[in-house]
Amino acid sequence: MKVEFFKHNINVIDIAHVNEVLNSIFLTTGQTVKEFEDDFASYLSVKHAIGITSCTAALHLCLLAWGIGEGDEVITTPMSFCATSNAVIHAGATPVFVDVEEETGNINAALIEDKITEKTRAIIPVHLYGQMCDMKKIRQVADRHGLIIIEDAAHCIEGIRDSIRVGELGDAACYSFYATKNITSGEGGAISVNNSEKSEVLKMLRLHGIDKSAADRYTGRYQHWDMTVLGWKYNMDNIQASLLLGQLKRIEKLWERRAEIYRQYQDNLGSLNGIKLMKIVPNSKHAMHLFTIHVAEENRDEVLFSLQERGIGVAVNYRPIHLLKYYREHFGYQEGDFPIAEKIGSSTISLPLYPQLSNEEVDYVVNSIVTI
Ligand SMILES: *Cc1c(COP(=O)(O)O)cnc(C)c1O
């Protein structure tokens, strides 16, 4: 049996949407992007959503929009994909890591204050695996020190915690539509903000810093454009947006099926000797992006390979960022610097979790783990 680690959800409706765009005149950022942005903002209950080419670009643009760069420090987590802290470096600032909670893998809000200096400008919490960080606590810390919060919500479009939605307490939140994310356009991303002024700045920054988009210039009487700031080339196009429109309409249904699989894994693996599961915090809706099991560090790779040998797609999310070669060499990090993140990084295995997974496949994964 072969169980893929991930299969996307693109269906005939999505393909029809893409066809519509391909048969229209406008492939780049235009009406379809606008439609997706409006739908996405309304799904999230935020004022503005801005279509971007990736979550990495989205994080980078947010830092720029708040004037964060050279000489500034940004607090974030080592337990994430390297994109999170890479974006800080792209902006010219320095990432400062804070260790995570053992039970969730999320940044430990109680440890943030110790790392704040007069150079600190922002916090980037990552809602790991789809579980929201303690945004109420993080907001309080940020407010005490005049910091902004940019949420890395690449795993967590659907999340809620303590009645707080993703993107609600952060100054901005960044989303990913990368190939394996909950909804996908292959590559793609978005930013949500409630501040209308920042929304305008972000829209300029995503397109060279010019004040008229191609759609503005083309639709109606020709308009001369000006470039007022140095921007980037990070605008989502109509083809990407057309792939996302239908998936966004199905997003809750897709979540429900993942939640079902998640529960099956929990019920069958939760009491196994030698296996630990992440905790879901009370009063929350987990976005169910990744399901991870945690085994003894000395057994991890053996279990990983043996699942692979049985035809099961697996992944490691994540070996901590500070121990990646570039980070060791440029920032002098070493083993022991963030012990909890390191412990998770060397014990974690991600199992297949996506709506297309059949019950037989889930049973096969479960049985493979039980009999290892
Ligand atoms: C996927 C991911 C990113 C990067 O998203 P892209 O759209 O590929 O740039 C950032 N942060 C986390 C936590 C991710 O999983």
Angle between helices 55-65 and 83-90 (to 10 degrees): 40
Residues 199/202/204/207 CA torsion (nearest 10 deg): -130
- Render pLDDT for 155-206 as a digit per residue (tens, 0 to 9): 999 999 999 999 999 999 999 999 999 999 999 999 999 999 999 999 999 9
Ligand 1 neighbourhood includes 84 CB (under 6 angstroms):
yes
Strand pairing class (73-76; 120-124)? parallel
Nearest alpha carbon, ligand 1 atom 8: 178
349 membership: H or E segment, kind and range: strand 348-351
Please enumerate in sequence order all residues whose Cβ is within 8 A of that of 89, keeping only pairs 6 or more positions apart, or say none. Answer: 95
- Render pLDDT for 288-324 as a digit per residue (tens, 0 to 9): 999 999 999 999 999 999 999 999 999 999 999 999 9
Domains and CATH numbers, the chain: 12-249 (3.40.640.10), 251-371 (3.90.1150.10)
Cα 368 to ligand 1 centroid, rounded to whole Å: 29
Rounded distance between C-alpha atoms, residue 161 and residue 165, angstroms: 7
Mean pLDDT of 137-166: 98
SS3 48: strand
pLDDT for 217: 78
- Render pLDDT for 330-365 as a digit per residue (tens, 0 to 9): 999 999 999 999 999 999 999 999 999 999 999 999
Whether 181 is a known active-site residue: answer yes
- Render pLDDT for 37-68 as a digit per residue (tens, 0 to 9): 999 999 999 999 999 999 999 999 999 999 99
Cα 54 to ligand 1 centroid, rounded to whole Å: 8
Rounded distance between C-alpha atoms, residue 331 and residue 44, angstroms: 36
| Single-letter code of the amino acid located at 286 | H
Phi, psi of 35 (to 5 degrees): -65, -45
Catalytic residue among 7, 47, 115, 181, which?
A: 181
Q: How confident is the model at residue 212 (pLDDT cuts 50, 70, 90)?
A: confident
DSSP, residue by residue, 195-209: -HHHHHHHHHHTBTT
- Render pLDDT for 66-85 as a digit per residue (tens, 0 to 9): 999 999 999 999 999 999 99
Ligand 1 neighbourhood includes 64 CB (under 6 angstroms):
no
Ligand 1 neighbourhood includes 80 CB (under 6 angstroms):
yes
Cα 189 to ligand 1 centroid, rounded to whole Å: 9
| Neighbour tally for 82: CB within 10 Å | 17
pLDDT for 21: 98
